[in-house]
Structure 1
Amino acid sequence: MSKLSRLWSSLHGRRNKPSAKASVLLGLLVAGCGSGAFADPLPWRDSGGEPIVLKRMGSFMVGGAVVTTPGDFTPMSPTPAGQTLSGDHAYVQFEIPRGANRNSMLMWGSLVKTPWETTPDGRDGFEQIFLRQNWSVFLADRPRMGEAARTTVGATITPTAGEQGFFIQFRLGLCAAGSPPVQCNLYRGSKFPPGPTALDQFNRWLTQSVGPGDPALTLNDLLAIVDKIGPTVLVTHSASSLSGYQAAMQNPNIKAIIGLESTGVPCPSDHPFPPVVGNFGTTTCTPVDPALFRNLAKIPILMEFGDNIPSGPSNYFGLDFWYRMHAIDLEFKKAVNAMGGHVTLLELTQRGIKGNTHFAFTDVNNVQVAGLIQDYLDAQGLAR
């Protein structure tokens, strides 16, 4: 059992029974959740953990492109003519602790890197949790987003309301139909941090891209990161998952993948998975060279899913989406393992862990989820 698992067990006692102190804390956290109401969150606070001692920290840009505007440069009265524009790179922030593991951990997310750094209610994010387990942690902003928001291709950015739809799609809970203000309630027993302040922080993570999405660019930047940092465990989430699997097919420096609720998977072009049909669309895999796909059988892959994923098509668009994504991911697992691969499914509900959202790594039990991941990496011999 990892130190993280022991920490979570100590907070909750044997058989996951909370101590008196933990019960008071959890009572504050989940007050009102049983009825679906929000409670006020705990104040922004220190995690109370041991100090993190770093050997080095910093950041860098990697990948991207340089474009040149035709014409002659005039230094006395410059115009774009003859000048260059460097953009489309990824931004990477890193922290290396003393006594670091031989493999690093690269967190490649679906949004900006903020959800790795902290939780909506101010607790330690996966960044700090895994630093305390002696991982060198690299956090990346994908091209044209966050601190990598410098694009060589223009786009029209149209502000669009959609936070209540995301509340449902990210499986925090359900919202009632009707005129504003729309009433949204957490699922009973939800592990999302309760309170309006936490939800406000969460909504502000939904950062828009400053340029058009480009899967080839995204993959090339990820490959450039891995080339630079060397052997690493790649942690993906949601929309970043497909590029993660594609990178692992090409770069042996990716020693394992932790796929948190993947929303895109590859498949061998000669044997694509059957499409998954829901009430709001059809989900398919992305065909790739069969020889490359077989490389995924060479590394351990852990696929995590939380709660409230329907087992069939849903009348809610956001939940129908998760029925389809979960089903296609199971096809991916079956295909890789049929070739002698090592894909392990971590269904939190099957471990008796209920209420986790699409963002289990920021939910109130993120230490417990991290402990399961650490246990898995320990068992694979990757956490030494």
Structure 2
Amino acid sequence: MSPPLALADFGSFYAGGRQVNITGLPQREIAFTQSASLNYDPNGLYHFEQAYVQYFIPAQLAQPLPIVLLHGGGMTGAMWEQTPDGRPGWLQHFLRQGHAVYVVDNVERGRAGWAPFTEVWPEPPIIRNAEESWSLFRFGRAEDYAARRAFDGLRFPLAEFDNFIRHAVPRWLGNNDAALQGFCAVLDRVGPCLVLAHSHGGEVAYRALHARPELVRGVIGIEPSGFSPDVAAASVADKPFLFVYGDYLDATPLWERLCVTGKAYADELARHGARVETWRLADMGVAGNSHMPMMDDNSGDIAARIGAWIRGAAI
């Protein structure tokens, strides 16, 4: 059992978004409890596309730059708080390393809220199901889902898979630009920082790097699935970048393509003067990691490795 973690401060804030006036929709009678009802008018002024941030400042602040944790697609900041089987999440690990940590629920996710009006977001949302999570996150082969037969040596706590899929929330595929704007508003509040982004969060992070180069001092991409369309030397030169990949990367054509795309982007960063390092954990003798290394049974070890990389990165 780890000793209690002392905090100097903690809190939360909303950042970014826009106000929207909804007009022309019909009113209707609603009951919002068993004993209270009223005539609901959906027309009026709303605020949408904000991000929600919860921050934690350790009493023993040992690192100069805060870490901003950005979730992947269809998930929220809760993914960093605790593993499905109840172990400390990376939020706690990086706090113990002496970093201030900012946990983001970006646009449309978790406590950031979402817009129920097609007048704001025209397309319907999607949500990831258990079957897709099983193969996409590389827990096992798609055909082995029904039997819950995992890849040999898998480090994800599979007994808690049903608990894990509670993390899934709706996402709107057309909101990438809004997510970028929301995240930039977060960076404006936080100031200079390191961004640690997972999966789809990679696209937001690498685009934000170029939109706020004076604030993003480095990016740690945990199996990023998206990138900035272009790389500008002025935004990346002499900054540290770490790419972290788990095991079973040849399990699906999608992950084979994403690894090729990720390498090409890392090479482009390096060509523009960035200091780039790529970890393929299985090639480093650390086998069995899924797409969710912050939840795998060696999550603490990987957080420690990342922390050591940060301390050696001379930021």
Instruction: Classify the TM-score, shorter chain.
Output: 0.7 to 0.9
Secondary structure of the residue that 2:14 maps to in structure 1?
strand
Secondary structure of the residue that 1:173 maps to in structure 2?
coil
**Contact 2:50–2:112 (CA<8 Å) still a contact in 1?**
yes
**Distance in 1, Cα, partners of 2:302 & 2:154:** 15
Pairing of 1:25-40 with structure 2 (within 5 A): none
Secondary structure of the residue that 1:176 maps to in structure 2?
helix
Alignment RMSD (CA, Å): 2.2
**Distance in 1, Cα, partners of 2:42 & 2:207:** 36
2:140 to 173, 188, 193: 173
Partner in structure 2 of residue 356 of structure 1: 289
Pairing of 1:109-258 with structure 2 (within 5 A): 109-110=71-72, 111-151=75-115, 153-154=120-121, 162-176=129-143, 182-195=146-159, 198-209=160-171, 211=172, 213-251=174-212, 252-258=214-220
- 5+ residue gaps, structure 2, are 25-38
**Contact 2:15–2:50 (CA<8 Å) still a contact in 1?**
yes
Partner in structure 1 of residue 245 of structure 2: 305
**Distance in 2, Cα, partners of 1:159 & 1:234:** 26
2:3 to 16, 26, 50: 50
**Contact 1:175–1:185 (CA<8 Å) still a contact in 2?**
no
2:263 to 323, 330, 348: 330
Cα distance, 1:256 vs structure 2: 1.0
2:18 to 56, 65, 71: 65
Partner in structure 1 of residue 227 of structure 2: 265
Aligned residues: 294
**Structure 1 counterpart of 2:84, one-letter code:** P
**Distance in 2, Cα, partners of 1:215 & 1:329:** 19
Partner in structure 2 of residue 107 of structure 1: 69
**Distance in 1, Cα, partners of 2:126 & 2:40:** 33
Cα distance, 1:162 vs structure 2: 3.3
Cα distance, 1:68 vs structure 2: 2.3
Q: CA separation of 1:78/1:293 partners in 2, compared to 1, >3 Å: closer, same or farther?
A: farther
**Distance in 2, Cα, partners of 1:166 & 1:202:** 10
Partner in structure 2 of residue 86 of structure 1: 47
Q: Verify: 1:380 aligned to 2:301, yes or no.
A: no
Q: Verify: 1:96 aligned to 2:57, yes or no.
A: yes
**Contact 1:245–1:296 (CA<8 Å) still a contact in 2?**
no
Q: Percent identity?
A: 26
**Distance in 1, Cα, partners of 2:203 & 2:192:** 19
**Distance in 2, Cα, partners of 1:330 & 1:184:** 31
**Distance in 1, Cα, partners of 2:127 & 2:297:** 29
**Structure 2 counterpart of 1:59, one-letter code:** S
Secondary structure of the residue that 1:360 maps to in structure 2?
coil
Secondary structure of the residue that 1:376 maps to in structure 2?
helix
**Distance in 1, Cα, partners of 2:294 & 2:217:** 21
Q: TM-score, length-normalised on structure 1?
A: 0.72
**Distance in 1, Cα, partners of 2:51 & 2:189:** 12
Secondary structure of the residue that 2:186 maps to in structure 1?
helix
Cα distance, 1:117 vs structure 2: 0.3
Partner in structure 1 of residue 273 of structure 2: 340
**Distance in 2, Cα, partners of 1:320 & 1:88:** 33
**Distance in 1, Cα, partners of 2:127 & 2:276:** 38
Q: 1:80-124, CA deviations, whole angstroms, 9 ceiling, x for partnerless residues?
A: 55x310111011011111132321110011111111001010100
Of 92-101 and 112-121, the range deviating more from structure 2: 92-101
Q: CA separation of 1:69/1:190 partners in 2, compared to 1, >3 Å: closer, same or farther?
A: closer
Q: TM-score, length-normalised on structure 2?
A: 0.87
Q: 1:184-238, CA deviations, whole angstroms, 9 ceiling, x for partnerless residues?
A: 211111110131xx111111111113x5531211111111101101111100000
Q: CA separation of 1:194/1:212 partners in 2, compared to 1, >3 Å: closer, same or farther?
A: closer
- 5+ residue gaps, structure 1, are 1-47, 72-76, 267-285
Q: CA separation of 1:116/1:161 partners in 2, compared to 1, >3 Å: closer, same or farther?
A: closer
**Structure 2 counterpart of 1:145, one-letter code:** R
